[in-house]
């Protein structure tokens, strides 16, 4: 299933940003080159964007541009920047990153973990969403966490997608490096689907918004 696209002129009208701002943000790498999609239309070549991701990115830039420079924002949005994030357990609850219910489920699987790197945070964030929307139960959490912690870091900079499926009641998780059409046999039921890029974006924005409440641990501070 492909992302819904939005034309450049519609994007500028909806968000209120200018043509110049858009391309300045592109030059500063606040918006990935891959999000600028050229397509043929009856009027010629036009530029389109993945709608949901662009609207969320522009909202995040608008909220932070008064307190951070464009270079600092570029660092925030870089896929590599997440490797520096390390949080303690109390941060997860104090900053409303996950619920106490989700952390309790996680603790049954990883009882001794004290510090959480970004792949752990992403796995917890997605687990929290799936538990809250009722698509999965706590007994299925181990398989989800195993798949995400093993592979999610490989696709931070890709248009990746997570599928949660069941066949004859047996759950399985598929992590696709690209959000492409995928076809299952009739015995497989798709329970949930999440774009990892959107989850990563939402999690990073949540962490950055809460940074004003106090400094987050960073791995480079412990070197």
Span 5-77 CATH architecture: Orthogonal Bundle (1.10)
Domain residue spans of the chain: 5-77, 81-222
C-alpha–C-alpha distance, residues 223 and 214, integer Å: 20
pLDDT at 33: 86
pLDDT at 46: 92
pLDDT at 222: 44
Contact in structure between 158 and 178 (CB atoms under 8 Å): yes
pLDDT in tens, 171-193: 999 988 876 788 899 999 999 99
pLDDT at 217: 53
pTM, full prediction = 0.69
Going by C-alpha positions, the residue among 190, 197, 185 that lies closest to residue 174 is 190
pLDDT at 2: 55
* pLDDT > 90? residue 80: no
* pLDDT > 50? residue 76: yes
Residues 6+ apart with CB under 8 A from 101: 131
**Mean pLDDT, the chain, integer:** 85
Going by C-alpha positions, the residue among 123, 33, 38 that lies closest to residue 74 is 33
pLDDT at 21: 95
pLDDT in tens, 204-214: 778 876 554 55
pLDDT at 132: 92
Taking the mean position of all CA atoms in its chain, how far away is CA 67?
22
φ, ψ for residue 115, nearest 5 deg: -125, 145
């Amino acid at each position: 299933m492909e992302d819904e696209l939005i034309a450049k002129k519609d994007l500028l009208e909806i968000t209120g940003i200018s043509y110049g701002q858009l391309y300045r943000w592109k030059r500063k790498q606040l918006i990935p080159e891959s999000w600028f999609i050229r397509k043929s239309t009856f009027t010629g070549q036009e530029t389109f964007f993945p709608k949901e991701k662009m609207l969320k990115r522009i909202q995040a830039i608008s909220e932070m541009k008064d307190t951070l420079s464009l270079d600092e924002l570029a660092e925030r949005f870089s896929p590599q920047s997440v490797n520096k994030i390390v949080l303690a357990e109390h941060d997860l609850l104090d900053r409303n990153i996950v619920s106490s219910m989700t952390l309790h489920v996680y603790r049954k699987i990883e009882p001794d973990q004290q510090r959480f790197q970004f792949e752990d945070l992403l796995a917890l964030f997605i687990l929290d969403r799936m538990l809250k929307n009722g698509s999965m139960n706590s007994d299925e959490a181990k398989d989800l966490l195993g798949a995400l912690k093993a592979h999610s870091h490989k696709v931070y900079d890709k248009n990746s997608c997570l599928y949660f499926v069941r066949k004859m009641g047996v759950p399985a998780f598929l992590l696709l490096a690209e959000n492409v059409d995928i076809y299952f046999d009739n015995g497989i039921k798709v329970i949930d689907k999440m774009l990892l890029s959107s989850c990563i974006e939402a999690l990073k924005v949540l962490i950055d918004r809460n940074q004003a409440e106090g400094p987050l641990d960073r791995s480079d501070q412990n070197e």
